[in-house]
Structure 1
Amino acid sequence: MRPDQIQQIAGWLAATDIALLELRGPGHTLLLRHDGAAVERITPGDEAPIDVPAAPDPLTVSAPSLGVFLHRHPLRAEALAAAGSAVQAGQVLGLLQIGPLLLPVAAPADACVIELLADDGAVVGYGTPLMVLQLDTPA
């Protein structure tokens, strides 16, 4: 690989948040490390291990009060948050019906709904697990 090509690739790498770039071709390997400030070429075998942050533990959303848990609004056909759907902080995941009152159960953070624990129409008490969320990892 020519030096001008390596410089161009290093420039592209500097504009990203990629920490280590490895390019392999017939008979050669190019390793570039980006530490956030500079890009340097390293020889194979000298690369430091890169810490990959672990995914956060799943979060269980619990009932804030007693009532009847609803997956959807009574006037709508679609669920507020189905399993596998992405939700944003503050988005309504379900409703807790207490007499004529519908109390929203909101997502505490940006996440993905992994599992619905309470059935639609289930009578729940304070602290009853309603659903499990996988929090989004920060970019």
Structure 2
Amino acid sequence: MTKKNHDADVAFIQALAELLRENDLTELQVKRDYGADDSLNVRVSRHTQQQVVTQVSAPTPALAAPAATPAGPAPTPKTDDPAEDPGAVTSPMVGTVYMQAEPGADPFISVGAAVSEGDTLLIVEAMKTMNHIPAPRSGKVKRIIVEDGAAVEFGTPLVILE
């Protein structure tokens, strides 16, 4: 590898780390092919808000995402963290959120709207596949946490139902 490629790779890794921080992601993995026998595999992951770990290596299977902890039977949550709300509906995957079936269409839900179990709350696009996220139970939409077009990770709170 030449000095020029090395400098470009360092700048590329720094740009990935910045992208990770700006979009509040925990992990990003990219493979760059330079030729038949020359490639760069980079995985950048963040374990805490202050620590960014960068690893350059051969391709490895993705690490398992941490399991979501079930919310306890707290009658009135005193935290502002939507993930700890017992009515939180979380993302089952990494992807991009869409609030309507197609651009210009009415959104699936709005704050205050009643939903039935199985109704589509929103769509999470992952790898060019549109995944409808159903309501886990009937209720009323108390809060919509994500915005249309936002990137989400596994376990990200999307909507809070009453």
| TM-score using structure 1 length | 0.53
Q: Larger strand proportion, structure 1 or 2?
A: 1
- Structure number with greater CO (CA < 8 Å, separation at least 6) is 1
* Code of the aligned partner of 1:117: I
* Residue number in structure 2 paired with 1:19: none
Decide which structure has the larger Cα Rg and report it.
Answer: 1
Q: Which runs of 4+ in 1 moved over 6 A?
A: none
| TM-score using structure 2 length | 0.46
Alignment partners' CA distance in 2, 1:69 and 1:59: 19
* Residue number in structure 2 paired with 1:124: 152
Please tell me the root mean square deviation across aligned C-alpha atoms, in Å: 1.9
Alignment partners' CA distance in 1, 2:96 and 2:127: 9
Offset of residue 95 of structure 1? 0.2
Residue among 83, 105, 115 paired with 1:87:
115
Offset of residue 99 of structure 1? 2.9
1:101 aligns with 2:129: yes
Paired residues, what number? 80
Which 5+ residue runs of structure 1 have no aligned equivalent? 1-53, 135-139
* Code of the aligned partner of 2:145: L
* Code of the aligned partner of 1:83: V
Alignment partners' CA distance in 1, 2:97 and 2:103: 15
Q: Larger helix proportion, structure 1 or 2?
A: 2
Which 5+ residue runs of structure 2 have no aligned equivalent? 1-74, 76-84
